[in-house]
Amino acid sequence: MKIPNNISILAILPVLVLWGCSKEPPRNTPRAASHPKDFLLQDISWSDPYAYMVDLEHPDAVQYIAREQQYLAEQTEPWRSNLKEMMSELNAQLSIERKTTPIVTGDFEYYSEIRKGHQYPVYYRRPKTLPGDQQVVIDLNELSNGTDFYALGGFSISPDEQTVAFTEDRTGDGNHTLRLRNLDTGVVTTIADRLEPKLAWHGDAILAIEKETNSVVEHLPDGQKTTLYRETDPAFSLSVRTARDRKTVIITSESHRATEIRTLSPGGELQLIAPRQEGHRYRLMIGVDHMTVLSNYKRPDYALAFLQKGEVDPSDWQFYELRLPGSVVDFERYEKFLLVQVRNRLRDQLVLIDPLAGYQRSILVTGAGESFRLMQPDDGAEPGFQFRIRSLIQPERRYKIVVSEQVAHEIDSDSAPGNYLRDQYRVEEHWLSARDGVEVPVTLIYKKGADLASRPLYLTAYGAYGISLPIAFDPTRLPLLNRGVVLGIVHVRGGGDLGDAWHFSGRHLNKENSFNDFVDVANRLVESGIGHPGMLAARGASAGGTVIGVVANEAPALFKVLVADVPFVDVLTTLLDPTLPLTESDILEWGNPDVPADARYLFEYSPYHQVREQDYPQLLVQASRNDGRVGAHEALKWMARIRARSTGGGLHLVDIEDHSGHLGASDQYLRRRKQALEYTFVIQGLGLEN
């Protein structure tokens, strides 16, 4: 039953069959084998009956996964037509053919295109003087033959423009292979594997990051290799990229708390920009005639500094102070001018400055549910700057700023689905008080129509690493919006929405703030007349899944439906394993279990450890077998413990994808299948028939 926009959902609740109200769990509910393993950490002890699941090939783990997948199929069989309809709606939102705007580099224009019936893009180039004569750079459809997963890591054209170097992941585990393709002959050569995705040309060689040794390695096309730099601190990860001058390679070592950058010029030695210092993070731009740094050295909201060669001490840097509130999040440079992106209370502002003249002028400010993305000038760009405006309810638009005019002009925009009318939808921003008095923002999206107090409310959050959930138009939200669901992004502490201070107030021993913010905002919204109290749902992915896990334990009656995607829920056990690739860096964000205060704090909120005997809401957990960041065993263990301890009859499902990684399947239609299951689960769980 579809609900017309002019009818209150509250009015028809009595006639809906509310699935999941029974106190008896569905029949044939899977039960995992129990093999208790005892743990003792300082003064904390616990028993883990499902520790064996860390090995997904353990016979009992294999059997449990099979039972869960069979149970998923049985429970969703009555929804077959609903799932089919949802898949049809989601696929209709995908453009049949998509083509990117050409970018000019050197003598060529580069662009990509997804054609009808193909899963992946083809990257092309054509001479900028003969735009009709196109050449294939790499065809991901061809490269993906014979594999169930394919993701392009990065690619770069050689200085002589005859070869493309690229990295690819063929399993979803995050390990990349470096390959070269001759653009004249089409011959592809494999150079190295088990790499990070980033790469950069250095003369005739390619620089890439070896995962096992955490080293920058120079690879020659004939297979010879030389280690240029090795990072010895496991809390730091490495990346490489080509600077704007097209000659220098920038090598970055970075943890969650510090940055150290080195540069490598043709024929030169590694040059240190600034040594790592606890709490100092910075980014570097090298142009033909300048070096500019964005740094938080003694400036928690970041500031721009202009470097002279050899100035490795940040106290010697010449900082430019903006006369504006907020954090500097990005910048671009053109000749003597800088375009700076400043964020203050969720609003982005673009500021044009001339540092030498001390001149600065505000060009544009975003509204609710909007963000800017600055674009790197290409070789064919008109003089000045280009940027994009992203919106939750409008396709992306591209603008240019001609410095002499100091105003923004729209260049073009992405197309919307054929039946989409922007004026039918609305974005709102609310600031609501958490239990400690701090105001937490939430961004809402909904279709205009029925009273908001009668609507279903579906909230999400992330809240870790200083990362913000992306603000962008996503047509796959339309099936929910068009059914009257109000969608909300809760900008909880721990994320980067309000700068470093917001991040720090939701990490480590302040992590509880992330969870409290989410619960408190949900309650405040309902109190203010937004969302029906019996029709609340929530989702979170990865670190956002930690939020969902805590909410399930601490506020099980608040949400009727929960969705956790690749959730980080076995927090304490994972951080105790030093062999995992992210442990040393993650303890800087979450805490160090070797420290007694940290261990106690982690144990007291870790979702897996705090599962208790109570009635849990309806729960869909999605995981990826090849996930190299959050192991699928975390989701399985968590579900097994909930099944063993839940006293209610709510439906609990696990969906394990066999051919995907942390970010999901690479096949766009498999991604829609996963999304269709999520949406249908939420719709059914809230009592809204398709």
pLDDT of 9 > 60? The answer is no
pLDDT in tens, 198-237: 999 999 999 999 999 999 999 999 989 999 999 999 999 9
Give the residue-averaged pLDDT of 173-181: 96
**pLDDT at site 19:** 38
For residues 323 and 374, the answer to whether their CB atoms sit within 8 Å is: no
Give the residue-averaged pLDDT of 505-534: 98
pLDDT of 531 > 50? The answer is yes
Is the full-model pTM beyond 0.85?
A: yes
Element holding 619 (H helix, E strand): strand 618-624
457 bridge partner residues: 486, 536
pLDDT in tens, 286-304: 987 789 999 999 999 999 9
pLDDT in tens, 629-647: 999 999 999 999 999 999 9
**pLDDT at site 23:** 53
What is the three-class DSSP state of 252?
A: strand
Q: What share of the chain is helix, strand, coil (3-state, %, to 5)?
A: 25, 35, 45
Q: What percent of the chain has pLDDT over 70?
A: 94
**pLDDT at site 544:** 98
* C-alpha distance from residue 4 to each of 12, 92, 306, 482 (Å): 11, 21, 58, 9
Which is it for strands 151-157 and 135-139: parallel, antiparallel or unpaired? unpaired
DSSP code at position 357: T
Give the residue-averaged pLDDT of 10-25: 39
pLDDT of 380 > 90? The answer is no
Give the residue-averaged pLDDT of 179-195: 97
pLDDT in tens, 606-621: 999 999 999 999 999 9
Architecture of domain 25-92+419-685: 3-Layer(aba) Sandwich (3.40)
pLDDT of 663 > 90? The answer is no
Q: What percent of the chain has pLDDT over 90?
A: 80
pLDDT in tens, 33-87: 999 999 999 999 999 999 999 999 999 999 999 999 999 999 999 999 999 999 9
Q: How many residues does the chain have?
A: 690
pLDDT of 265 > 50? The answer is yes
pLDDT of 466 > 70? The answer is yes
pLDDT in tens, 312-333: 889 999 999 898 999 999 999 9
d(CA 124, CA 107): 13
Tokens of 118: 């193909």
Cβ-Cβ contacts under 8 Å for 324 (sequence gap 6 or more): 342, 344, 349, 351, 360, 362
Instruction: Label residue 97 by pLDDT band (50, 70, 90).
Output: low
**pLDDT at site 417:** 86
Among 187-196, 233-242, 560-569, 623-632, which stretch is predicted with the lowest mean pLDDT?
Answer: 623-632
d(CA 339, CA 654): 47
pLDDT of 7 > 50? The answer is no
What integer best gives the mean pLDDT of the chain?
Answer: 92
Among 401-410, 462-471, 670-679, which stretch is predicted with the lowest mean pLDDT?
Answer: 401-410
Domain definitions of the chain by residue range: 25-92+419-685
**pLDDT at site 20:** 39
pLDDT of 439 > 70? The answer is yes
**pLDDT at site 12:** 29
Strands (DSSP E) contained in 449-493 are 457-460, 486-490
Give the residue-averaged pLDDT of 160-171: 96
Among 44-48, 373-377, 458-462, which stretch is predicted with the lowest mean pLDDT?
Answer: 373-377
Q: List, edge to edge, every strand of the sheet that includes 385-391.
A: 370-375, 385-391, 397-402, 407-413
Q: Which residue has the higher pLDDT, 314 or 118?
A: 314
Long-range contacts of 418-421 (CB under 8 A, 24+ apart): 420/475, 420/478
pLDDT in tens, 645-657: 999 999 999 999 9
Tokens of 419: 């039946």
